[in-house]
Amino acid sequence: MEKTSLCCVFAVFQILLAAAMCGILAVFGCVDSSQAKRARIIELSRRLRHRGPDWSGLHCHGDCFLAHQRLAIVDPTSGDQPLYNEDKTVIVTVNGEIYNHKQLRQKLSSHQFRTGSDCEVIAHLYEEYGEEFVNMLDGMFAFVLLDTRDKSFIAARDAIGITPLYLGWGHDGSTWFASEMKALSDDCERFMSFPPGHIYSSKQGGLRRWYNPPWFTEDIPSTPYDPILLRETFERAVAKRMMTDVPFGVLLSGGLDSSLVASVVNRYLVESEVARQWGSQLHTFCIGLKGSPDLKAAKEVADYLGTRHHELYFTVQEGIDALEEVIYHIETYDVTTIRASTPMFLMSRKIKALGVKMVLSGEGSDEIFGGYLYFHKAPDKKEFHEETCRKIKALHLYDCLRANKSTAAWGVEARVPFLDKEFIDVAMSIDPESKMVRRDLGRIEKWVLRNAFDVEKNPYLPKHILYRQKEQFSDGVGYSWIDALKDHADKQVPDATMLAANFIYPENTPTTKEGYLYRTIFEKFFPKNAARATVPGGPSVACSTAKAVEWDAAWSKNLDPSGRAALGVHEASYEDVVDTKIDEPKNGPL
């Protein structure tokens, strides 16, 4: 893309204002609306303060409560929530950002706006279009809206589930919504993860899907691969996520996805308003055990791009010591998610200590393009495409959950350009034959993405980085991290305990000591049946769905979520480890 078009694209996005990552809690139909109940709502809302430490808001209307904890990324001095329409009859509490709010405001010229917040359009869109406006929004969001005129309410979550949201029901018949499970689990007997791409309507009674893209049916697409379209769509996705009035950076592992995000941000930064405020040198961040694959690869990319690179370290013992806190924040007992969340959690704390409140990250690419190593064994393009669809549909339970909650634990917002709605539509319309691994044609995993950015003039990345093999985050921070977690669990969980695992945990029974350890910690914080049901289960190899395990008979004997479990695919063997000592000295303060 030429410099002139870079300027044009950025001009569009400079006018945006974001509500940013926050914490929301809403309760409707409380039998008790006393001062004591108000105090309880405030107490529960405080459990989300890590998500929004900058300000708090609470609106009460009869037996309805809408609470908000704000993290201010853009326009920090205003835009506090809840937000309202002109006469305050419509009240909204929002977690997220609406990228196309300026275009939407133009459609609402007869409405008067009180703030510059991008999320205020939600109240006015509801006034103008009723409940059917959600598919007009381009962004990541979870919101709850109360119409005081008839005491009806709606709640909605973004297309992919980048932004977390939970739905629950109290003993008194009240309906609850919260950004994290911890804010409603004690006061609701029944609760669930709010499904992405859905809206809840009190008028129509229950949930319905508002997001219905062509790929959702899993029919095989046939659009020819267009590398220029793919590249330019991704650049737009990155550009719209660079609006901020606070210091920001990119999480850079040195793998393909994060390196492309960093490269595109680096190009746009020079022409941006952000550069005039914070300088034109991009900050990048990487964490790992000393000597890990990610640290080496990330430094190479950072040197090539000329970023201000921050190489952060953690020890195995520091990671193990953080496990309980990590599980409390990310609210899962899924083994893969916890393995990868722990380094990200530790990194986010260090990033926040440096004064950074927003980062861009590379989640979603592997699901869209079949980047996990087990995709090498996909038998045909139909199976390949259907697996990518299954993976995208489950992102809110895995990588989206990890990226959001690991960073939000320390008041940092993560933005994920690969999960841009327009980009997904383009990428998932490509004939999957082009996405498949074809060694006879020199195509490795994610070839369509690598090829789109493989340009001779002003290259985005050096070729050897552009074609670097996939590492899962929990592998890339240091292979010994996973091995040490298994050793730790082996010491903590007796053999006899595992023999009784199916009696102690009859639902989603842990099959390994590591899984058992995480389940025990999770149950301590979230003991209700509804909580454990929010976590998916089933066999997996190298992050596959249960269906894809059938692709290779050998995988059923080696059900480990590490990328190295795709035996015969990854370049590194299980014996390639760094340093497995658990009692190594602390590497300075976090």
Spatial distance between the Cα atoms of 136 and 156, rounded to a whole number of angstroms: 12
Evaluate the CA torsion angle 330, 333, 336, 342 in order and state its sign: positive
SS3 of residue 332 by DSSP: coil
Instruction: Tell which phi-psi region holds residue 279, choosing left (phi > 0), alpha (psi between -120 and 50) or beta.
Output: left
Exactly one of 7, 8, 22, 64 is catalytic; which is it?
22
In 32-113, DSSP assigns E strands to 55-61, 64-70, 83-84, 90-98
Spatial distance between the Cα atoms of 251 and 347, rounded to a whole number of angstroms: 9
Spatial distance between the Cα atoms of 537 and 533, rounded to a whole number of angstroms: 9
Spatial distance between the Cα atoms of 269 and 525, rounded to a whole number of angstroms: 42
Q: Is residue 361 part of an annotated ligand binding site? A: yes
Spatial distance between the Cα atoms of 177 and 374, rounded to a whole number of angstroms: 37
Q: Is residue 118 part of an annotated ligand binding site? A: yes
Among candidate residues 306, 305, 243, 234, the one with its CA nearest the CA of residue 272: 243
Spatial distance between the Cα atoms of 309 and 298, rounded to a whole number of angstroms: 9
The C-alpha angle 34, 37, 43, rounded to 5 degrees, equals: 145
Question: Scanning the structure block, which residue is given the tokens 């300075």?
Answer: 588
Cis peptide before 432 (omega within 30 of 0): no
Torsion angles phi and psi, residue 394, rounded to 5: -100, 0
Among candidate residues 263, 171, 159, 140, the one with its CA nearest the CA of residue 211: 159
Contact call for residues 85 and 46 (beta carbons, < 8 A) = no
Tokens of 568: 């015969």
The C-alpha angle 361, 364, 366, rounded to 5 degrees, equals: 115
SS3 of residue 8 by DSSP: helix
Close Cβ partners of 255 (under 8 Å, ≥ 6 residues apart) = 294, 297, 362, 468, 470, 471, 476
Spatial distance between the Cα atoms of 179 and 521, rounded to a whole number of angstroms: 21
DSSP state, residue 113: P
Close Cβ partners of 457 (under 8 Å, ≥ 6 residues apart) = none
- How many helices (H) and strands (E) the chain has is answered by 23, 17
Tokens of 116: 């510059």
Contact call for residues 237 and 422 (beta carbons, < 8 A) = yes
- Strand order in 139-147's β-sheet? 83-84, 90-98, 139-147, 152-157, 198-201, 206-209
Question: Scanning the structure block, which residue is given the tokens 């383009």?
Answer: 426
Q: Is residue 251 part of an annotated ligand binding site? A: yes
Catalytic residue check, 8 = no
Spatial distance between the Cα atoms of 122 and 154, rounded to a whole number of angstroms: 11
Among candidate residues 238, 224, 305, the one with its CA nearest the CA of residue 1: 238
Going by the annotation, the residues of the binding site for ATP are 251, 287, 361-362
Active site residues: 22
Binding positions for L-glutamine are 118
